[in-house]
A and B are shown apart, each in its own frame.
Chain A
Amino acid sequence: MAANYDYEEAPGTYDDANRQDLGYDPNFVPDSVKSFVVHLYRHIREKNVYEIHQMYEISFQTLSDRLFKDTPWPSVDAVAHYVDNDQVFCLLYREMWFRHLYARLSPTLKQRIDSWDNYCSLFQVVLHRVVNMQLPNQWLWDMVDEFVYQFQSFCQYRAKMKNKTEQEIALLRQFDQAWNVYGVLNYLQAFVEKSNIIQILEQEKEGGEQFTATDGYDYSGGSNVLKVLGYFSMVGLLRVHCLLGDYQTGLKCLLPIDISQQGVYTSVIGSHIATIYHYGFANLMMRRYVEAIREFNKILLYIYKTKQYHQKSPQYEQILKKNEQMYALLAICLSLCPQTKLVEETVNSQLREKYGEKMARMQRYDDEAFAIYDELFSYACPKFITPSAPSFEEPLVNYNQDAYRLQLKLFLYEVKQQQLLSGVRTFLKVYSTISLAKLANYMEVDEATLRSILFTYKHKTHSVDSDGKIISNADVDFYIDDDMIHVVESKPVKRYGDYFLRQIVKLEGVITDMDRIKLE
């Protein structure tokens, strides 16, 4: 049920409604579905989180595969009377209903608008009423994730004005509040604020609150829904800001979550991956390459070790896709900012296998190199959106690629500025001292140009971190004394401490083994 980021919608030219109606009776409720909703309703009322999770994750999936492979589930009106017409349950059911629709079929404009209405109603209930439920984190994450996904999908859909029918245009004009960017952002912000999650996380550090320790669940009779939705909304905000191209604010929204530790965000694999993917991407665009490399390295190692446990899960495909995208981003980061010590062995060998050749070509900075940067960026980047309302004036155009093209253009511009740096790096690796005149001669430029190149090298390899401090990323560095360049190579430090620790443990093992041997 996880959002499929890359779900390419079929063009809206044919009549989607027709296609869905073939053999689909919204009022027909198979027995298994009746049983499903009755049990799920009971478990929610009785707060049996484990059972809810099983039904949500497994039963829903199984029934979808068996009975609703390419049709929607029965309409909420058809099942309502099995669940006492409970308003909240119906909203939850509808949320799952739409999620299933988006995943298996192509939603019509009317359905998109209805889904928005459903989210509004559901969110209003959670925000303004005391909701006495405990829902599994997986479900709560999926709600936020899907909400942002449907927003992104709507913006992409709306930006393709060229082939819209009269009815579609009329509907768009009429329901201009549906999936409005202000609405989306303000709901996410409202969850963060109303849940008080930022203060809860702060107080938890001082020992005053329990949140992470209980995985967000409330064991004192209350509800986890608002708190956990507030928590996941911070990731949601990071994601929306990345889609808009505002990386600084995105990272700011995530700040209350300490990603150097385990937390509720790691309790659901989809959330863990989404958080680090967007965190890494935002840092990449802000030229904080080392930070991005560090986080990508950690998560890629984690996925490598744990993906086997998710093989049966509905999120598996999505996990694999994000895995591949993050390798591409890692390849980009390491080509722009070569580092020797930051990537773990396993991840490094995977990286070499997938992108070794491409990385070598990227560092040549010729036309082919730019094409590869373009290719990898385009493959791995988020699906950027244009948030403003469309123009209904003739001629109607498709502008769904505009946002992506801008981000790509600016990214390649940055790459181009670093073009001459790999040449310098090569020379710096060979010499310990060299005069400006000589190096200028070897690089076939005049001294003034060489100075500019060296300034660029220094500027690009010394980034500004979130506290405004200057940090050097240079694997090879230098300084100039008058007209002489002195190269400084950072040598790998012998880690004696680690060595001794290992040997101590090993020796202890040998002694223990010896103790076990009984002498005849």
Chain B
Amino acid sequence: MGRETPKQQQQVSYTVEQLVAVNPYNPDIVPDLENYVNEQVSSQTYSLDANLCLLRLYQFEPERMSTQIVARILIKALMAMPAPDFSLCLFLIPERVQMEEQFKTLIVLSHYLETGRFRQFWDEAAKSRHIVEAVPGFEQAIQTYAIHVLSLTYQKIPRPVLAEAINIEGLSLDKFLEHQAANSGWILEKGHVRGQLIVLPRNEFNHPELKKSATDTVPLEHVTRIFPILG
């Protein structure tokens, strides 16, 4: 879901990763970490460790906290779903800050995604365009998450359910489906009564027979018990 990608970044950000690894408990690196957040936003990369480091430093010196930066961190964390990054960040943000309007909205958005309420999510996101448009790649990231959940759940999914989950309809959806069929192994079936059915790729979660079972593996230490007998 797009975690650390230091290789794609410039020289400056590689040094930030080093700072976080080697000297994280240092108030002087706050500006570097803040710049790094903005860089993650503009270059569509992501580093949870660096962002947690910054949130910690804000916790140590609350006067230095920039709510704009914190909001950006939270949006990036939301985009990392299904990873629990959003809650990990919330654990470090004081309650009174979480009560502010923009954070309450983000928490509501997270809640909708956590509980599979995709239609409500897209409705709310539409109302808060100024928040979510601030971070490029937001829409695609959430659509990726939605498809992830659908792939855990469905073998064959009706078109309207898919459309609602990823917020794409009509001709755009047709194009999207063609692209997925060509590149991701989706199969489009002509549905009977209910319209088009999309067959999602097989995985161990929607096709239980594919589950690799650690069935009758016996650990070596147990077998060594009978070596004296066999020998």
Contacts and interface: CB of A to CB of B under 8 A. Distances in A.
Given A453-B116, A479-B206, A501-B223, A246 B91 contact: yes
A459 B87 CA distance: 15
B225 A501 contact: yes
A451 B82 CA distance: 18
B48 A455 contact: no
Interface in A393-413: 402, 405-407, 409-410
Nearest to A285: B91
A63 to B, nearest CB: 38
Contacts of B94: 402, 406
Interface stretch (B32-40, B66-74, B123-131, B153-161): B153-161
Nearest to A512: B229
Contacts of A459: 82, 114, 116, 149, 152
Nearest to B3: A468
Contacts of A482: 156-158, 191, 194, 197
Contact of A248 (B1, B52, B208): B52
Interface string B109-120: 001001111110
A493 B211 CA distance: 13
Given A452-B117, A493-B215, A505 B25 contact: no
Interface string A454-492: 111011101110001010100001011111000010000
Interface in B181-231: 191, 194, 197, 204-208, 213, 215-218, 222-223, 225-226, 229
B49 interface: yes
A504 B226 contact: yes
A462 B152 contact: yes
Contact of B216 (A468, A479, A496): A496
B143 to A, nearest CB: 14
B111 A245 contact: no
Contact of B49 (A252, A286, A468): A252
Contacts of B114: 417, 456, 459-460
Given A248-B52, A409-B95, A501 B226 contact: yes
Given A472-B205, A493-B215, A410 B91 contact: yes
B208 A477 contact: yes
B208 A488 contact: yes
Contacts of B48: 248
A480 B213 contact: no
Given A252-B49, A462-B205, A452 B116 contact: yes
Interface stretch (B11-19, B55-63, B166-174): B55-63
A244 interface: yes
A402 B95 contact: yes
B105 to A, nearest CB: 16
Given A388-B62, A410-B90, A417-B115, A468 B226 contact: no
B119 A245 contact: no
Given A462-B152, A480-B153, A505-B226, A470 B84 contact: no
B155 A458 contact: no
Contacts of A498: 218, 222
B177 interface: no
Contact of B149 (A453, A455, A464): A455
B134 interface: no
A178 B150 CA distance: 53
Contact of B83 (A453, A468, A483, A494): A468
A410 B226 contact: no
Q: Is the interface of A mostly helix, strand, loop or mixed?
A: helix
A493 B213 contact: yes
B216 A495 contact: yes
A402 B91 CA distance: 12
Given A244-B59, A501-B218, A186 B84 contact: no
Contacts of A481: 154-156
A246 B25 contact: no
Interface residues of A, number: 58
Contacts of B158: 482-483
Residue of B52, B88, B95 with most chain A CB atoms under a 10 A cut-off: B88
A414 interface: yes
Interface in A198-251: 244-249
A182 B218 contact: no
Contact of B92 (A182, A245, A493): A245
A305 B174 CA distance: 63
Nearest to B85: A248
B136 interface: no
B112 to A, nearest CB: 9
B49 to A, nearest CB: 7
Contact of B116 (A186, A451, A477, A505): A451
Given A458-B153, A482-B197, A249 B116 contact: no
Contacts of B56: 244, 246, 249
Given A287-B84, A417-B114, A482-B197, A246 B92 contact: yes
A458 B229 contact: no
Contact of A448 (B90, B119, B223): B119
A480 B155 contact: yes
A182 B83 contact: no
A451 B56 CA distance: 38
A342 interface: no
A23 interface: no
A185 interface: yes
Contacts of A248: 48-49, 52, 88
Nearest to B62: A388
B52 A249 contact: yes
B87 A414 contact: yes
Contact of B59 (A387, A448, A455): A387
A468 B92 contact: no
Nearest to A452: B116
User: Ordered nearest first, which 8 A-B pairs have the shortest CB separation?
Assistant: A455-B116, A497-B218, A245-B91, A185-B25, A488-B208, A452-B116, A458-B152, A479-B206
14 contacts: A245-B92, A246-B92, A249-B49, A454-B116, A458-B153, A462-B205, A464-B82, A479-B155, A482-B157, A482-B191, A482-B197, A496-B216, A497-B218, A498-B218
Interface of B: 1, 3, 24-27, 48-49, 52-53, 55-56, 59-62, 82-84, 87-88, 90-92, 94-95, 111, 114-119, 149-150, 152-158, 161, 191, 194, 197, 204-208, 213, 215-218, 222-223, 225-226, 229
